[in-house]
Structure 1
Amino acid sequence: MTRSFKAHLHNETATVAMGNKLAAIIEQGAVIYLHGDLGAGKTTFTRGVVQGFGHSGKVKSPTYTLVEPYELVRANVYHFDLYRLGDPEELEYMGIRDYFSEQAICVVEWPEKGGDFIPVPDLDITLSYVGDERKIAINSASERGVAIVEKLNSLNLGE
């Protein structure tokens, strides 16, 4: 059973705010896949998620380091950017499995490059352009994901 949530994000502030709202309703760990073209807002959305869990500093894309860890009071958040990954097997050498625990929040940009080395997501999110705005589509991919999307829908934030 899949649940979906869709919304228009009018600007960067709205994209960060949506990440904040998602963080506010995640009660335990989650694996979040982010899809979208370059510049579609994946890192901007992730900034909202990370800040929603209590980080007050800068949130940058880990394009060259592959992962940026945020060890926060409410949760450990790991931001992955697999765009420059040459071979999914490289993830095994960096110990990727150690990041994915039941309580961790793992946000993965370009997950298709990770192959079988990353777990299936709880949420599968696509950010896309609609004129000057962005559109976000959040789909559940697990029971945990269904619960999160149902909470999002109950907030009446979507289309």
Structure 2
Amino acid sequence: MMGFGARLAAVTGAVGVIFLEGDLGAGKTTLSRGLIRGLGHVGAVKSPTFTLVEPYEIGSLRAYHFDLYRLVDPEELEYLGIRDYLEEDALCLIEWPDRGAGFLPKPDMTITIRPQAQGRSLLLSPHGSRGEAWCAALALEFK
């Protein structure tokens, strides 16, 4: 998950919206950790389970890691200032996006993580040209 996150960091250019879906313990935070470190962050990458969002400024890059698991009402995202995070020049990783339905934008890609044998299976679903470009770049690497 860490390695795939790092590869994903390379193809995103640190811009876009990625939804991360999967059960508890599926590896959403681990994938996010790999992606954020792949962007060049050298410090701790902690789960935003209790804070809802962890911001990362890596030079001129900005990434925001959301975990909406504890969100009671999607409207809480308005009070959190969600629109301020969803800028064109930032990368937003959103775990449990279904909990923010109606207040989140359409993602560039949804990654669904499921356990499989001794590892994980990842289903990448692009939503638009940016996500399609990411999937095409990754497909060339993982053939």
Q: What TM bracket, shorter-length normalisation?
A: over 0.9
TM-score (norm 1): 0.87
Q: Quick check: 1:123 aligned with 2:127?
A: no
Q: Which amino acid aligns with 1:106?
A: C
TM superposition shift of 1:47: 0.3
1:80 alignment counterpart: 66
**In angstroms, what is the RMSD of aligned CA positions?**
1.0
TM-score (norm 2): 0.96
TM superposition shift of 1:131: 2.3
Runs of 4+ aligned structure 1 residues displaced above 6 Å come to none
Count residues with an aligned counterpart: 143
1:4 alignment counterpart: none
Q: Which amino acid aligns with 2:78?
A: E
C-alpha spacing 1:97/1:39, structure 2 compared with 1 (3 Å): same
Cα distance in 1 for residues equivalent to 2:95 and 2:60: 22
**Gaps in structure 2 of 5+ consecutive residues:** none
1:62 alignment counterpart: 48
Higher RCO (CA < 8 A, seq sep 6+): 1
Asked if structure 2 preserves the Cα contact closer than 8 Å seen for 1:83 and 1:110, the reply is: yes
Q: Quick check: 1:150 aligned with 2:136?
A: yes
Pick the aligned partner of 2:75 from 65, 89, 106.
89
Pick the aligned partner of 1:132 from 114, 118, 124.
118
Q: Quick check: 1:44 aligned with 2:30?
A: yes
**Gaps in structure 1 of 5+ consecutive residues:** 1-14
Cα distance in 2 for residues equivalent to 1:83 and 1:102: 25
Kindly, what percent of the aligned residue pairs are identical? 50
TM superposition shift of 1:27: 2.4
TM superposition shift of 1:64: 0.8
Cα distance in 1 for residues equivalent to 2:131 and 2:20: 14
